[in-house]
Amino acid sequence: MNTSQNGADPRQWLLEELILALSRLARPAEGQVAYLDTLGTDRSADELALELDDVAEAALAAELLSETQRTLLRELDRQLGEMSGSDHAELWSHEALRTSPAWTEVRARARATLSELHAEPVASS
């Protein structure tokens, strides 16, 4: 539900978008692959990181989060950043989502951040 279209508080909409992006990162590998498949052919796993990046900076700037929540979000963002670049291109495949310990850690960090937000992962979208 896009609450910004319903005239709701933009801060609430931003929080909902953050929870959605974190939920996608927290999904099991097969759920992540299935989501990427809905976006189009051969979508790289970097789409998951880009979606978080789209809202994380805004959420941090809007001061929506507690210090602990900000710390967890920054740690997740830092890890995704460390996975980026041509030296780590292999980490952005569907196979890496299934087998890489780095993605296992990303999912754990995303779940921890959701927990600290007192949010349940969004099951679909």
Is 64 inside a domain boundary?
Answer: yes
**Taking the model in full, what pTM does it have?**
0.89
- Does residue 96 fall inside a structural domain? yes
Residue 107 lies in a domain: yes
For residue range 39-82, list pLDDT tens digits in order. Answer: 885 778 999 999 999 899 999 999 889 999 999 999 999 999 99
Mean pLDDT (the chain, rounded): 90
Classify residue 124: in a domain, yes or no.
no
Evaluate whether residue 123 is within a structural domain.
Answer: no
In 3D space, the residue among 51, 72, 53, 52 whose CA is nearest the CA of residue 114 turns out to be 72
Q: Is residue 121 part of a domain?
A: no
Q: Which domain holds residue 70?
A: 8-116
**What is the share, in percent, of the chain residues with pLDDT greater than 70?**
90
pLDDT of residue 65: 94
Task: Give per-residue pLDDT as tens, 95-104.
Answer: 999 999 999 9
Distance CA 22, CA 34 (A): 16
In a domain, 122, yes or no: no
